Amino acid sequence: MRRVVCIWLPNWPITAWRRARHVQPPDHEAFALTQRTGRGLLLHAVDDAGRALGLRRGQTHADALAIAPGLVSAPAEPEAEARALHALALWFERFSPAVAIDADPPGAEGLTLDMSGAAHLFGGEAALLDEIAARLKGAGIAAALAMADTPGAAWALARYGAQPIAEPGRTREALAPLPVQALRLDEETTRLLNRFGLHSIGDLYGLPRAGLARRFRAEAGLALVRRLDQALGAEAEPLRSVQPPADYRAWQAFAEPLIEAEGVGHVLPGLAGALAAQLERDGMGARVLALDAFRTDGRRVRLQAGLSAPSRAPVHWLRLLREKGLERLELGFGADALMLSALKAEPLAARQAPLLAGSPKEKPQACSEALAGLIDRLQAKLGESAVLRPEPYESHMPERSERWRRAGPETSGGTVAHSGRPRPLLLFDPPQPVEAIAELPDTAPSSFVWRRCSHKVVKAEGPERLGPEWWRAPASSQGPERTRDYYAVEDEAGHRFWLFREGLYGREDAMRLPTWRMHGVFG
């Protein structure tokens, strides 16, 4: 059965503001955060002392000062609040891989955790809520918690319920005494329900859905019925996690926080072995690894490493994480939980080991694995963008027939479109200018000067004509590209070059004479 924990964070904007500045709340003065809007300066959040004086969110600052002349205010920082809430949600992944942020309606921010089948890992549901509450209290974060079968029911119990836990299968009974606004309804719908004498959620149980929806405007009626069905579990309500949960992960909590990175290195082999066993069970290999350390101060630090080929070798993983900076992991006052995840996994087919050592089939496999390991270590040390490899690209122009991508042993499905004639190993990008002399305008050169050195041509092969890619925008301000005639030539010393004449005499651009360029050198 699905079990969901809802964490309500009352006054979260003020909590985030004070935590960012390490400011303690005043003993007697009311405090509020303000935000400038089209209606003027409005209260964005109010603390408990301000609400006790009658202040509320959305009130103008001038009216608030008239009620509470001693009000202390500061500009709100909505973006900083959102970042802090996102960071807190990531930290709560130590309890569940599926953590969603609940920021609707504004001013009622909270988190929702899917704890289905996981509460026993923390000693039961009551012990789980006690641990979460203790950690939030230790971090100076005010919170109210509840656990139920659905996100809607947990949301209602956290904000309006007297009991924090609704027993499995007892959602209707737990919600019945709560006010109708616990269904996450807008103020207008709540006001109309109260006018009809419907004050609690239990009052709605006996009413037909169609008649209940017709008493309101179309959208409001449908929203009321949908919220009621979601809270009772009649309609599914998926959680939108802050990040997709990993399918494969190994997790371990500690009674005493790990202070040094050496402690992490001591625990990591066990986590890697557990993760490798999960991957091997499904015939998968990790392509992206992530090591998450959940610190005691409510922050999460991550160390991530990519692999060029699927792998489930713990020794290789540990080497990569060390190269990524495991010894420099910022643990602060300590980490009380570690999680090793395969953020991306791909099928890894098992291979038959050769019967005889040194078999011809063994060498390519060993070379491929060694190459993948070398690439992974180089990328871990230098950065993924620093280790690249070329791959074929579908273009008949030589300088565009390949492109660079992240290095890896896998092959690409791209092809190079050309006539099948040999290409030089060394290509110049861009092609270099050459002064050439040809006996006839459209024939191979008889001699040329390149880099101040004169070369007499004794052998020539060609031309190989390549038309311009007319669908591309001009690469330079000189105008559109022109037809090229390529020649493979050899000089008196036996050196072989790849030249081309760009342009056709009198047939393409009368204002530009054809030019010769050196595009490559044969080995």
Statement to judge: residues 194 and 330 lie in one domain? no
- Respond yes or no on whether the N-terminal peptide bond of residue 310 is cis (omega within 30° of 0): no
Q: Is the preceding omega at residue 398 within 30 degrees of 0, hence cis?
A: no
Interaxial angle between packed helices 314-323 and 362-382, expressed in degrees from 0 to 180 and rounded to the nearest 10:
30
CB 304, CB 290: distance < 8 Å: yes
Residues 178 and 280 in one domain: no
| pTM for this model (two decimals) | 0.68
Q: What is the rounded CA–CA span in Å between residue 216 and residue 204?
A: 14
* 63 belongs to a structural domain: no
Is 410's pLDDT higher than 60? no
Contact 290, 303 (CB under 8 A): yes
Q: What is the pLDDT of residues 138-197, one digit of tens each?
A: 888 989 999 999 999 999 999 998 889 999 999 999 999 999 999 988 888 888 888 888
The answer to whether position 380 is within a domain reads no
Q: For residue range 32-56, list pLDDT tens digits in order.
A: 999 998 888 999 989 888 888 899 8
Tell me if 376 is assigned to some domain. Answer: no
**In 3-state terms, the chain is what percent helix, strand and coil (to 5)?**
35, 30, 40
DSSP 40-79: EEEEEEE-HHHHHTT--TT-BHHHHHHH-TT-EEEE--HH
Regarding whether 190 and 312 lie in a shared domain, the answer is no
Give the C-alpha distances (Å, rounded to integers) separating 227 from 66, 184, 186, 197, 456.
39, 7, 11, 19, 86
Task: Decide if pLDDT at 498 tops 90.
Answer: yes
* DSSP helix/strand/coil, 130: helix
d(CA 291, CA 126): 29
Retrieve residue 295's tokens.
């610190």
Q: Is the pLDDT of residue 471 over 90?
A: no
Binned at pLDDT 50, 70 and 90, residue 449 comes out as very high
Inter-residue contact 521 to 501 (CB < 8 Å): no
Rounded to the nearest angstrom, the gap between the alpha carbon of residue 302 and the centroid of all alpha carbons in its chain is 12
Are 259 and 305 a contacting pair, CB within 8 Å? no
Q: Do 96 and 177 belong together in one domain?
A: yes
27 has a pLDDT exceeding 50: yes
The CA angle 238-239-245, to the nearest 5 degrees, is 120
Q: Helix or strand or coil: residue 504?
A: coil
Across residues 228-242, what is the average pLDDT? 89
Helix runs in 324-390, H state only: 362-382
Contact 56, 42 (CB under 8 A): no
The tokens describing 135, both together, are 């950690």
Q: Are 485 and 468 in contact (CB under 8 A)?
A: no
Residues 343 and 303 in one domain: yes
In a domain, 11, yes or no: yes
179 & 301 share domain: no
Quote the tokens at residue 354: 């050769």
Percent of the chain with pLDDT over 90: 38
| DSSP-assigned letter for residue 26 | P
Structure tokens at 159: 């904000």
Q: Is residue 388 part of a domain?
A: no
Give the pLDDT confidence score for residue 210 in this predicted structure.
Answer: 74
Helices (H), 59-150: 61-67, 78-91, 125-138
Residues β-bridged to residue 344: 288
Q: Is 345 exposed, middle or buried (0-12, 13-18, 19+ CB in 10 A)?
A: buried
Predicted confidence (pLDDT) per residue in 200-222, tens digit: 999 888 888 777 767 676 677 78
Residue 18 has pLDDT above 80, yes or no: yes
Residue 244 has pLDDT above 50, yes or no: yes
* 433 within a domain of the structure (yes/no): yes
H helices then E strands: how many in the chain? 13, 19
Mean pLDDT over the full length of the chain? 85
Asked if residue 259 lies in contact with residue 320, where contact means CB atoms within 8 angstroms, the answer is no
Q: Which CATH number belongs to the domain containing residue 304 in this structure?
A: 3.30.1490.100
Cβ distance 334 to 432 under 8 Å? no
DSSP assignment of 452-479, as one string?
A: TEEEEEEEEEEEEEE---TTSPPSSTT-
Same domain for 441 and 508, yes or no, is: yes
Under DSSP, the state recorded for 440 is: S
Residue 77 and residue 215 in one domain: yes
Q: Tell me if 245 sits within 8 A of 97, measured CB to CB.
A: yes
Q: Indicate the DSSP class of residue 396.
A: S
Stronger pLDDT, 108 or 352, i.e. the higher one: 108
Higher-pLDDT residue of 22 and 426 is: 426
Mean pLDDT of 312-332: 88
**Do 123 and 215 have their domain in common?**
yes
Residues 517 and 499: their CA atoms lie apart, in Å, by 6
Confidence of residue 380 (pLDDT cuts 50, 70, 90): confident
Residues 330 and 267 in one domain: yes
Domain-located, residue 484: yes
In this predicted structure, the answer to whether residue 21 has a pLDDT above a threshold of 50 is: yes
Q: What pLDDT score was predicted for residue 7?
A: 95
Bridge partners of 434? Answer: 516
* Domain end marker among 296, 314, 347: 347
Q: How many residues does the chain have?
A: 523
What six digits make up the tokens of 210? 């169609």
Secondary structure element (H or E) that encloses residue 188, with its range: helix 187-195
- Write out the two tokens for 418: 């050309």
Q: Which of 347, 382, 410 is the last residue of a domain?
A: 347
Q: 145: buried, middle or exposed (CB in 10 Å: 19+, 13-18, 0-12)?
A: buried
Q: Total domain count for the chain?
A: 3
Tokens of 464: 């190989």
Structural domain of residue 449, as residue ranges?
426-521
Q: Which of 295, 328, 347 is the last residue of a domain?
A: 347
Same domain, residue pair 339 and 488: no
- The reply to whether 157 and 17 lie within a common domain is yes
Per-residue pLDDT band for 411 (boundaries 50, 70, 90) equals very low
Structural domain contains residue 399: no
Most confident listed range (328-332, 389-393, 457-461): 457-461
